[in-house]
Each structure stands twice: as structure tokens, then as C-alpha cells.
Amino acid sequence: MRVLGIETSCDETAAAFYCDERGVVAHALYSQVEMHARYGGVVPELASRDHVRKLVPLIREVMDRAGEPVDGVAYTSGPGLVGALLVGAALGRSLAYAWGVPAVEVHHMEAHLLAPMLAPDRPEFPFLALLVSGGHTQLVAVEALGRYTLLGESVDDAAGEAFDKTAKLMGLGYPGGPAISKLAQQGTPGRFHFPRPMTHKPGLDFSFSGLKTSALNTWQNHRDEPNAKADIARAFEDAVVDTLAQKCQRALEETGMPRLVIAGGVSANGPLREALSRLARDLGVEVFYPPLAYCTDNAAMVAYAGAQHLGRGESAGLGIRVQPRWPMM
């Protein structure tokens, strides 16, 4: 099965060619981060227009590099920004029609969830997945492809969103995750301490919206002191990482899952990877991450997820459909 994958759900335009025998044969990505940075976040209309400009050349590039036809086209149909999704869905559905191959609608978070399958050392089912992106923070019991049970999720901001909002409040720019994480490396651990939200109550839900207020208040009270920004970044990152690790531990103990998979943009975070690898070692479970290039939004994960569904005989109708809000479970 050879699949062209297309991703346009937010601020990355991406195309990839995946084949069952050879893996990811070609992938190309254009990030709109610079364009949105001056507004401090993604401007949906600008995102859509830029996808229109960039998607065709990126598809040409990966198809030329692969040098062979595809057996199907997979595109992110949701969740995401409606205008942005429509660009990928319209082009993907139309290309499949023109080429006479099936099309398949891919759920963006399922694509993230399956991205670790693109690593040389890939997890077997079943596993516990921690999905941490700009829009979602979810703990999911994964029994098999398509058999997902939601165990817990954020009741307010997603982990990535908390990074982005906190960075914005402290004038660190967009996207906030990498910015905070970089600055935190120069921070003194323990100078400030932020709460670990919802860890004292039972359950597997998260709440990250209060952390940005902790960070903002601390920043306002200490902004003139040396190294305050880096120390706050450190305290913030430690709080997010520690909270995620505690909930993963609880979920692993409750489910008895033998494997832990971490995916989504925040899975690129170094301290999070270290903390979860340590936790997995202590609990005797295996841990898996996507290759770094496939942690944040990309089309390789979309092509892979599409290949799995096409392989089961699933395909989309002829309509061009997007689902901006689309629960995975």
C-alpha cells in the first residue's frame, strides 16, 4: 500500500509518501510559524490562505521524489481549523478522484497516536497513550487500531496550549513550548514552585489553565530580579512534566498496561521524555516516542494512519468533508 498523506489542520502544511514496504519514502513540510508569530498565535484566515499557496508544490515535491503512483490518498479531515482543513480535504479528495484511487479521512489525533509506529522500534498493541498537543491532553487505553478508550483529559487548557499561553504572557513568542523549554534550561530548579493541578484528587483528568496564572503572578512580582524569567520557565515546565508523569503512573497502575506511548507536539519536550522514561523504567513498562520529526504536526503520520484504514478496506465518499470538532472516542 502506497499512500499520499496530507496535513493542513492548523499552521503546518505537509505532504508525505508512505509505503508499507519502505516506510516514509518522502515527506515535506512548510511551517507557518514565522507568519503567525507576529500575532502571538495562529490567525485562521491567514493559515488557510497559506495552505492554498504551499500545498500543491509540497505534494509535487514528495510525488517527484517517490517517483511512483499511489494506491490511496489520506488527508486530515479534523479536528482543526475549518478553513485550513478544507484546503487539504478538497485537494486530497480531488486528487484521489483524478487518480482513480480511494481517499481516506484521517483523524488528526489518531495520526499523532500512531506516529510512534514510524520509529524503528515500534510499540505493539495494547498500550497506554499520553496524547499531548496544542489542542489536546488525553490519556487513552489503546487495545488495537480503532479500539480506543478515553481514560482522562484536560478539563480546560491542553498542555501545549498552557505552554503557548504562558510564553505569550511572559513575552516569549510563539510557539511557546520550545521557547519556554529552551529558557528553562537556564533556570534554577526549585526557586519557584507551582502546583501540580488535580494530582491530589483521584482520577485521570488534567487542568492546566491555573498554571499560567501562577506563572503570570510570579512574573509580575519578580520581573525585576535577575534570572526570574528563566526560573519561572523552569518552575512551569517542572510542574507540567511532573503532573503528566504522575497521571501516567496512575493510569499505568490502574490499567496494568505493559507499554506507554507518548505522542503529539509536547512529546518533543526533552524533560518530559526523561521523566517518562524514568517512570517507565521504575514501573518496568516499555516506553515509546515518535521520531522527533513526527512529534509535531506532519503528513507522514497522516499517510501512515491512512494506510492502516485503507488496508482494512475503509474509504471516504466522494464528498469533501471536514470535521473541525471530531471526538476520537
Q: State yes or no: residue 269 binds ligand KG4 (CB under 6 A).
A: yes
15 strand-pairing partners: 6, 28
Q: State yes or no: residue 135 binds ligand KG4 (CB under 6 A).
A: yes
Please state the closest distance from residue 87 (CB atom) to ligand KG4, in A.
16
Q: State yes or no: residue 238 binds ligand KG4 (CB under 6 A).
A: no
Please state the closest distance from residue 265 (CB atom) to ligand KG4, in A.
2
- What mask of x and - would describe binding to ligand KG4 in positions 183 to 202, judged by CB under 6 A? --------------------
Please state the closest distance from residue 202 (CB atom) to ligand KG4, in A.
27
Q: CB neighbours of 67 closer than 8 A, spacing ≥ 6?
A: none
Name the site residues for Zn ion (rule: CB under 5 A). 133, 297
Which one among 297, 301, 306, 328 touches ligand KG4, defined by CB under 6 A? 297
115 strand-pairing partners: none
Which one among 83, 92, 175, 197 touches ligand KG4, defined by CB under 6 A? 175
Please state the closest distance from residue 322 (CB atom) to ligand KG4, in A.
15
Q: CB neighbours of 51 closer than 8 A, spacing ≥ 6?
A: 8, 13, 84, 87, 88
Q: What nine digits make up the cell of 123? A: 510499540
CB atoms within 10 A of CB 48: 17
Which one, 177 or 306, has the nearer CB to ligand KG4?
Answer: 177
Q: State yes or no: residue 134 binds ligand KG4 (CB under 6 A).
A: yes
Among the residue ranges 31-39, 130-138, 276-284, 308-316, the one whose residues contact ligand KG4 (CB under 6 A): 130-138
Q: State yes or no: residue 163 binds ligand KG4 (CB under 6 A).
A: yes
Q: What nine digits make up the cell of 280? A: 517507565
Please state the closest distance from residue 265 (CB atom) to Zn ion, in A.
6
Q: State yes or no: residue 177 binds ligand KG4 (CB under 6 A).
A: yes
Q: CB neighbours of 315 closer than 8 A, spacing ≥ 6?
A: 72, 102, 103, 104, 309
From residue 38, alpha-carbon distances to 11, 168, 252 in Å are 14, 11, 41
DSSP states along 3-32: EEEEE-SSSEEEEEEEETTTEEEEEEEEE-
Among the residue ranges 70-78, 99-107, 127-135, 312-320, the one whose residues contact ligand KG4 (CB under 6 A): 127-135
Please state the separation of Cα 64 from the chain's center in Å. 27
Angle ∠(81,86,89) on CA atoms, nearest 5: 120
Q: What is the contact surface with ligand KG4 in residues (CB under 6 A)?
A: 10, 112, 133-135, 160-161, 163-164, 175-178, 181, 264-266, 268-269, 296-297
